[in-house]
A = this chain, B = another copy of it.
Amino acid sequence: MLNVYLSGEIHTDWREQIIDGAQGLDITFNSPVTDHAASDDCGVAILGEEPNKYWHDHKGAMVNAIRTRKGISDADVVVVRFGDKYKQWNAAFDAGYAAALGKSVIVLHGPEHQHALKEVDAAALAVAEKPEQVVEILRYVLTGALPG
């Protein structure tokens, strides 16, 4: 059995592609809350409003960290996806956190980010461009079967 945490970009369906593709494999997937609005507002929605945007963000980030820490700590493999937009510093942060804990890291990004992600890629055991490659790695790791 493999426990896989899917970190990073939340605007495309890459998580669904991986989870669907991995059907039939003995894998437990976890991920952050991917509802952008809920993720941004969870702190103040539960713990009370903050007039200052910094503390608004801070409270939410702290609550989300409860889920993220649990997800990464429990994982055997952490997949970190970098998309086309935004700074995505939380993704790189998760990669560093996972690497320091000795987790197997798989980075998923397009070739245009190779230079900017070279330090992150250097801490990974695989660098993939497409979700199906991640599925193939997970299948191979669990069953020894190669694609095709």
Contact = CB atoms under 8 A, between A and B. Distances in A.
Interface in A37-87: 38, 41-43, 45-47, 52-55, 57-70, 73, 76-77, 82, 86-87
Q: How many copies does the complex hold?
A: 8
Given A41-B146, A57-B115, A97-B100, A126 B89 contact: no
A136 B93 contact: no
Contacts of A93: 92-93, 95-96, 99, 119-120, 123
A44 B100 CA distance: 26
A147 B141 CA distance: 36
22 contacts: A2-B70, A38-B140, A38-B144, A42-B140, A43-B126, A52-B55, A62-B124, A63-B125, A64-B119, A66-B104, A66-B126, A70-B141, A87-B87, A89-B91, A89-B116, A89-B119, A90-B118, A90-B119, A92-B96, A93-B96, A93-B123, A99-B100
